[in-house]
Amino acid sequence: MSGRLVVDLQDVDAAGLAEVGGKGAHLGELSRIDGVRVPSGFCVTTHAFRRIMAEAPGSGELLDRLSRVDEGDQEEVRSLAARLRQVVEATPLPDEVAAAVTGALARHGERSAYAVRSSATAEDLPTASFAGQQDTYLNVVGTEEILRHVSRCWASLFTERAVTYRGRQGVDHRTVHMGVVVQRMVVPRASGILFTADPVTGDRRTATVDAGFGLGEALVSGLVDPDVLTVRHGEVVARTIAAKRRALHAVQGGGTRETPIEERRQLEPVLTDDQAVELVTLGRRIEAHFGSPQDIEWCLDDDGFHIVQSRPVTTLFPVPERDDDVFRVYLSVGHQQMMTDAMKPLGLSMWRLTALAPMYEAGGRLFVDATARLAVPGSRAALLDVVGRGDPLTRDALETVLENGEFEPASAETDGGGPPAGDGAEPDEADPSIVTELIERSRRSLAELEREIGTKSGPALFAFLREAFEEHKRVVGDPLNIRAIMAGMEATWWLNDRLEEWLGEKNAADTLTLSAPDNVTSEMGLELLDVADVVRTHPEVVAFLEGVEDDGFLDELPKVPGGAEARDAFEAYLDRYGMRCVGEIDITRPRWRERPSALVPVVLDHVRAFGPGAAARRFEDGRRRALAKEREVLERLRGLPDGERRADAARRMIRQVRAFAGYREYPKYAIVSRSFVYRQALLREADELVRAGVLADREDVHYLTFDEFEEAVRARRVDERLVRRRKDAFRSYQALTPPRVLTSDGVALSGAYRRDDVPEGALAGLAVSAGTVEGRARVVLDIAEADLEAGDILVTRFTDPSWSPLFVGIAGLVTEVGGLMTHGAVIAREYGLPAVVGVERATRLIRDGQRIRVHGTAGYIELLS
């Protein structure tokens, strides 16, 4: 346990985190920035902490127990944490540690007042601030008192709040150590907090200053309301002057005291505008040094501003990296793909390599740049129209950016590529045989990929994959493919618009598209009913499946009477759909073929809820309802003025929507099919790296980009520190909620509904599948934990195609994310489920088990008993 026990702040930098903790490392780094004044002092290092823990009786056993306890068992967490604090505080400081601290105090002034501040190694990190989790003691005077408060800081590593926070962040308590900062007190007349980015909107150009009289602890603890000043472009643009009735001041001889502020000063501004601008200028210098927005604690005395802490702001959504200062507007890809979870680096890089348009990464998510289209009036209108049809919240967010006047519109001559496909024009009728041809083309391309990739390994595999990615883009970007997708979408829009105008009927296309042919996602749900039909006839198989706990069950299934037939049914299903999974756009997610046990609960639910032949009956029922709706619509149209012309146009569009609406799901299926082939080949390479001792775990490659993975295979070397950093970053990204729209200045927007047709107390959303249904809400965040019964309404954050088997047994759908043409909406319409998507915070506002009424035609949710 050798190492320095005390080190001066001026000798510490950012690399010293393991020795002095996050706060100490940041203060040392701050003291190196020109023009930034940091009160002098020293750090009691983590080596001293390890000494005390080694001597604290029973601390090792208590730590082990704390690391194993379930974080939900709050009583046990509280008990173990309290015992650890007692043990640490009761353990005398080793003589060597006490002597080191005493010597440092002699150098810095043993009669001076000090702030004694905890500085854990898991603190003030780029991915998690851990702010306020450990203790700080102000105006500590005298050697004995400082030594006592060093022990108290060590013990504060085990406060209940700190232990709980670490547990939620996935940090092992045994890996965290505590340094202590002992720093000369500044006795300020004012103090506060500076955020170098707006903590609410995320705007990196706007800084906010909270300021109060006296010591900053009163402000941090919520004892007083601060003045709040907003600074933008070197100017105070907004200010709120609070009534500051109390302040915290240092007391001579040690400690602090809360004192009233005389009435005449309560509404006096703490800072002048010039002082606020000066402080923000200082903050910008600190922000530039650390490379990210900062949460800065400051104080002001007669000598000017002193900085007593700076930590990264970890709650802001990151901004895509770029090499210019042009204002940009980004659209979330995840909201279109119905998968807003964070993705690992390999998944992100694979999407970027196979996407038709440039994509930008931020916070573990992908975005596309919409700036060029928004800058030109013509393409802007077309973009807003298409986006608004799919997701009104995204349109609202874009309009908010435009209303704020963030960028100058370009001239018509600098059009960003013209309006996107599907600008609202009535489409020409297309030949339905196009779908057959496109599906066959895709199958041939996939077969060729499977045939050729099997012969490739090592660097040759990566060279081959780069060529395969070009074929991937060719298949997806085939003009005929785009035409077929848009034919179905535009016919849907046409029918909904015209039939509402002519007949007063909303969302008529929902019924007209029931049981449309070639919908691979709806077929995936229905075919699992066929698997259930096989399982249902063998009671021994049902009993066996009810006990399945791992993914090896298919090998054991033939040993059960009827099991061979059931296994064949499962295998046939996996042959067609085994490449799918939750979050399937991320290539790092395990597939059903790799984890077939994910399907077992759904099959058993189908066995209980349905009778034999349910799939065929449901499809035929949908087809009959669609035909009946067509006859009804055409008959009503003929009764209108100019009815024959209108009926003829509607008949043509109904044929078009029946021919192409189902194909909307196939391109995603083709992409995921190809991605599964890529995944299998890449995992073989990862296994080879594990065998060679280059990797500890095959899944470590998920934290490398495709280029880095290729280099690892070539060089037979992986940077383990990079992998660890990426894992930490991924964990932090998982906690972030991605916006629908993000600007290059960091403003994150998710839009709002501006409607007056939603009853009071109801939750507004986007109507995507007509009908009204009332039932029990089941709030499901993880498909593996779904426990649904017939008649339940599924409430979740988003659904991608892998959720489709659940749709067979539910009565309605509510999601937080989604649009008119996203997969969940398409399948809800296909199965005739009333559905409302884009319901902000639905999984938090709707209680699991609560009765709700879903208005799939009007687009809102009523909360009942």
Residues annotated catalytic, as ranges: 823
Whole-angstrom CA distances from 532 to 43, 539, 545, 601, 834 are 66, 12, 11, 11, 25
* Cα–Cα distance, 839 to 542 (Å, whole number): 37
Cβ proximity of 659 and 511 under 8 Å: no
Query: Interior CA angle at 284 toward 31 and 324, to 5°?
Result: 125
The pair of structure tokens assigned to 293 is: 């927005």
What DSSP state is assigned to residue 127? S
Q: Which residues 6+ apart lie within 8 Å of 266 measured at CB?
A: 243, 244, 245
Q: Rounded to 5 degrees, what are φ and ψ at 794?
A: -80, 125
Question: How many residues can be counted in the chain?
Answer: 865
The pair of structure tokens assigned to 769 is: 């599948």
* Cα–Cα distance, 148 to 130 (Å, whole number): 24
Q: Is 582 left (phi over 0), alpha (psi -120 to 50) or beta?
A: beta
The pair of structure tokens assigned to 284 is: 């910008």
Q: Rounded to 5 degrees, what are φ and ψ at 11?
A: -100, 10
Q: What is the dihedral sign for C-alpha 830, 834, 838, 633?
A: positive
Cβ proximity of 19 and 4 under 8 Å: yes
The three-class DSSP label of residue 601 is: helix
**Residue that is written with structure tokens 């800081």 in the block:** 153
Name which of 744, 750, 774, 766 is nearest 815 in CA terms.
766
Name which of 352, 340, 350 is nearest 394 in CA terms.
340
Cβ proximity of 788 and 778 under 8 Å: yes
* Cα–Cα distance, 442 to 472 (Å, whole number): 10
* Cα–Cα distance, 269 to 209 (Å, whole number): 12
Q: What is the side-by-side strand order in the sheet with 835-837?
A: 763-764, 860-863, 851-855, 772-779, 793-796, 812-815, 835-837, 766-769
| DSSP, residue by residue, 653-678 | HHHHHHHHTGGGGHHHHHHHHHHHHH
Q: What is the dihedral sign for C-alpha 195, 201, 205, 206?
A: negative
The residues with which 111 forms a beta bridge, in sequence order, are none
The three-class DSSP label of residue 489 is: helix
Name which of 798, 795, 787 is nearest 812 in CA terms.
795
- Tally DSSP H helices, then E strands, for the chain: 31, 26
Strands 793-796 and 772-779: parallel
Q: Which residues 6+ apart lie within 8 Å of 762 measured at CB?
A: 860, 861, 862, 863
* Cα–Cα distance, 68 to 116 (Å, whole number): 31
* Cα–Cα distance, 58 to 212 (Å, whole number): 44
